Structures are given as structure tokens and as C-alpha cells.
Amino acid sequence: MGHGTWCVGVVVCLALPTAAGAQLAPVGVPSGAVRLEADGSFETWDAQWFDGEKEPLGADVASPALGTDLLPFLASSESVIQQITGLTGFRLNLGALTTDAEVERGIGMFGISLGITRTITIFGRMPLVQTRVQHHSTLDPAGANAGANPGAAQQQEFFSQFDAALTDLNARLSAGDYAGDPTLQALAQSTLASGTALRDGLFSLLSDPETASPFVPLAGSDAGVALDTRIAALQTTLGTDLGVAGFTVAPTLPTDALTAAEFETSIADPSGPVGMSTDESLIRFRGDAEAGLALTLVDRWDKGEKRGGLRAAVDGLVRFPTGRRGRTDRLLALGTGDGQTDIEAGATVDLGGGRWGLRLEGRYNRQLAADIVDRVAPPGQPYPSQDLLAVLRFDPGDETTFAARPFFRLAPTLAIIASAERWHHGSDSYEYGSEAEAILGVDAAVLGEESDASATVVGIGLTYSNPGRLHAGGRGMPVDAGWSYERVVGASGGRVPNAHRIRARFRLYFGLW
């Protein structure tokens, strides 16, 4: 028998009428039966919804003039450059950064449900999750005025001569070399003061291991030229007017703009201000396990020869933080869990008659608070510095979901089903775990900005459910199965992945008593 003939045969067998059909999987399990569950989903996205508009996923890692907009820690360096060059409007510009990003997430959910009575079912599930985040950045040097800091070793001769010149000038003043000429004395004093300020500013910018900027002005930029001009003027004053010789070199500034690879290397440097890897992020780990109870309130579905009817059930579960949160030292990283406990309740109602029917679902997820470690920065800043890492009290917003799933029976046990779902996530709340953890001048609440979001998801699929021997008058193996394709078609508020998702479900029932 050929493969195609075999596949057709399987579909025909599944669709054959049985003594009792129930093409929608029930929430509960018949008394004395156990259900083994293997569900799976795979989703991917390279775009997101933000404030009702769709944008590339890498939009938050993009800038027409990369500087303090994405790297706010550069603000102090800009201030130093403005002071020592006199260019009050100067802004560091590393070039135009663009980033393409894509996420893949696969979830295998394995569970077991046990029918305690005709109406009560208990269940437990454990997901296995794989997340993969890939991204590629390009950096266009057009318009750039800054490059990579050459490093302290390249500045050693400059600061050695600078320090020697200032020491010499201070010694001459102390010895009274200029005392006979008040004008020259005043010049020497002002030169020592301004020269010392210039030296300290340059050292903090170029060489100080605690404050040196990873990015500094290009030699040919406005700031680079202004800096060289000021140093040359100081050297002339020292050598010509004040008789302090030996200071002739200039600081070493970069001559070329950054490439994307050089930028990512600098960002990933563990001794640098960010220390964030930009490599592909791949995690395989368990997700957040869940356990709960389902209560069947009404079950008048597919009784006897009648198709359809009414079925209603409610369920509640606790979702445990057994997964792993996304790493704080990887760009755009996703985890396999949220790091906190959920208490979720839901209701399901099936209505129908003949070939047509409708499943209605509603769920409410109360997300409890937990302590986490994260970098305190708004969502639109992809490169928060390491000094923003803190222990936080995280209280995620609660979630509500409403779904309508109309279906049409192709056979008593097989149906084509559509779905329309509306989901809402409330605002996340963050605060420091203690006063000792608080970062001066940084409000922990910025992490929760733009977290209130809603989305609309539509889908289509096939569902098969045959209670078989577990139903009075039924025959065959009790089994549920399903397949669906879903996608987000609209969203509002904060960031929502523009996900395409495929789901599959397979469940077997066995009688125990």
C-alpha cells in the first residue's frame, strides 16, 4: 500500500461514525479514567506590535544616530567632551544601527489527568521549552563622529608628558619664577588650573579604568579637531610663554568609525559598561509546570443519536515557577518561564446542534509577585549597563482571555474549527527589593512602562474526539487529537509578538476502574 493511500485510510477511519461522537475534546475525564496528554506548539515571529502599529522585532535595537538614545551611559562622556571642547551641542554618533531579529519557540507539554468522579478531574502538566533568538546588526558609518576608544596603553605617552608639564609648571610657580611679572604670573596660574581640569577630563574620558568611555570622538570630527586645537594651544602657551618644554604629543583618537562587529565586541566585553553578549540565544529547559482541578457542571453533549447539546466545565490551576527567566546578559533573550507563580481559573461552554456548534472560553490569570534580578531600564533600551542590575520585587499584570471557537462537523468525531481570541495583559509593577538595592536616581517602575497590552488572535484547525469505549454504547480507542494554525492580527498598548503559531494535540484515555 502506498503512503498516500495509507494517509487517506487513516483519515477515513478517524471520520467514520461511531455510536457516540464528540469532536470537541472535553475539559474533564470520565470517572475512573486516566488521560495521557502530549500537546505541542511551535511559533515564530520577526515583528512585533507596539502602540497598535506593526514594526520589525529589531526596531528597539535600531537608531539613525546611535548614541545616548540606546546607550544612556554615554551621557557622562558627552558631558566631558562638551566641557573640554566647548561644543555644547555635541552628541556622540556611532552611525546608523539597524537590526534584523527572529524568535523561534517550541513547547512540548506532557501531562496526565485523572477522573476522580463523574464531575471532578485532577491534572498535572510539565512543559519542555526551547527558545531561539537570532539577530543580525549592521552599522552604517555615514555621519558617524565617534569610534572605539584606542585604550589606555595608547594614551600613556600623552598623559606622561602632560603630567610632567603640569608638575613643572606648578614647581615654577612655587619657586616664584613668574613673580616679577604679574601678567605672566596670572597666565601661569590660570594655565595650571585650566590645564589640570583638561587633563582630568581627558583622563576620565580616555584612560580611567572606572570611567573611560568605550567610544570617543574621531580624530577628524568636530570634537576631535576642537580637542586637538585646545591641546595645541595649551602646548604653545606652556612652551613659548611659560618656558615649560617637553609636552609635544597629542592623545590618540580613532580614525575609523565602528563596524557592527566591533560594536558588538565592545558591548559584549565583560569588563565594559554593558557586558551583554550579542550571540544567538538558545535555551532548552523545562517550562512552568502546572497542576489543577476541573469540574464538569453540565454534560448533555452528543447524547444518543442527538448531535450537539450543552456542555460546561470550569477549571483552576496553579502554575509553578519551574522554568528559567531570560538571561540579563544576552540581547533580546527569552526564557522558558516567568519566574513567579500563577493562579488561573477558566470556564468552557460548548453549544451546538447538528453539524454546527460553538465553544466559548474565558480565563483569568492572577500572576503573583516574586523576587527577581534584572537590569533597571525602560523596555526601549536594549543595552542597559551592568551597574543597573538589582534585586527587584516583580508583580506582573493579570491576564484575561476570551475566545469563541465556531466549528462545523465533517463527521461525528471530526470537525473543522475556527477561533477568535482576545487577550489582555495588565501593567507590570516593579520596585526595589530593599532600600539597599535601590539605584540612586533610577526608578524601578521604568521596567513596567508600556507593559499594558491587548491582542487579537485568529486561527483555524481540525479537531477529533472519540470517547470510544468510555462512553455508553461507544466503541474504539478513546482518543482526542487536534491541529491548528493561529496568528496575531492586531494589538494595542505595549509590545506584543506578531507570532505565527502551530499547535498539535494528542491524548489517549485508559480506564482504571
The CATH number of the domain holding residue 428 is 2.40.160.40
pLDDT digits (tens, 9 = 90+) for 339-365: 999 999 999 999 999 999 999 999 999
C-alpha cell at 269: 566585553
Residues 315 and 247 grouped into a single domain = no
> Do residues 378 and 435 both lie within one domain?
yes
Q: Helix crossing, 75-85 with 182-206: angle to 10°?
A: 160
- From 195, 223, 256, the end of a domain falls on 256
416 lies in a domain? yes
440 & 500 share domain: yes
Global pTM value: 0.86
User: Cα separation of 272 and 211, whole Å?
Assistant: 10
Establish if 85 belongs to a structural domain.
no
How many Cα atoms sit within 13 Å of 296 on the Cβ side? 22
How far is residue 233's CA from residue 222's CA, in Å, rounded to a whole number? 16
Domain identity same for 448 and 357: yes
Same domain, 134 and 150: no
Do 289 and 247 share a structural domain?
no
Largest CA distance in the chain: 120
Question: For 264-271, what is the mean pLDDT?
Answer: 94
Contact 447, 428 (CB under 8 A): yes
Domain around 32 = 18-62+99-138+279-511
Indicate whether 84 belongs to any domain: no
**Do 220 and 352 reside in the same domain of the chain?**
no
Residue 499 domain-assigned? yes
pLDDT above 90: percentage of residues in the chain: 88
Total tally of structural domains belonging to the chain: 2
* Same domain as 163, residue 127: no
- State the Cα–Cα distance between residues 343 and 367, nearest whole angstrom: 6
Does residue 5 fall inside a structural domain? no
Q: Do 191 and 329 reside in the same domain of the chain?
A: no
Do 241 and 366 lie in a common domain? no
pLDDT of residue 511: 86
Q: Dump pLDDT digits (tens) for 32-75.
A: 999 999 999 999 999 999 999 999 999 999 999 999 999 999 99
342 and 386 share one domain: yes
Phi, psi dihedral angles at 277 (to 5 degrees): -70, 140
Same-domain check for residues 317 and 439: yes
Across residues 127-147, what is the average pLDDT? Answer: 96
Position 197 scores a pLDDT of 96
Whether residue 25 is contained in a domain is answered as: yes
Domain stop point among 191, 223, 256: 256
Residue 88: inside a domain: no
* Residue 91 placed within a domain: no
